[in-house]
Amino acid sequence: MQNTRHALSQMGEMIEETGYSIEQLANICGVSQDWVVEHIEAGVLHHDPQRNISWFDCATIIRARRIAHLEKSFDADPQLAALTTDLIEEVTYLRKRLKEFGDR
């Protein structure tokens, strides 16, 4: 794919910014497809409601990997893992904004 953009995940690997199926998402994150469905139903993972439920973007892949890692490493409840992920994402966003502000 010549025009495919990539994003570096927090875990240090390149992830294409294209759509992923539920099977691909589960495989990349090392979880079952049932895990993905349960986390969507719980509101922990999000998908574009205009698209099929099994179509996920790069940001969702990174989020799902982070949540799965927190759940496995710390035996965290899915909601707690999602909250922690939200906070990590917010800190990352704020650091980016602060850097942009400092560059002006």
Residue-wise pLDDT tens digits, 5-18: 445 444 455 566 67
How far, in Å, are 17, 41, 62, 70, 76 from residue 34 at the CA level? 23, 10, 18, 18, 18
Residue 3 has, within 13 A of its CA and on its CB side, a CA count of 0
Render pLDDT for 76-100 as a digit per residue (tens, 0 to 9): 999 999 999 999 999 999 999 999 9
Q: Which residue has the higher pLDDT, 19 or 26?
A: 26
24-73 pLDDT, tens digit each: 999 999 999 999 999 999 999 987 667 665 688 888 999 999 999 999 99
C-alpha span between 4 and 8 (Å, rounded) = 13
Which pLDDT does position 33 carry in this prediction? 96
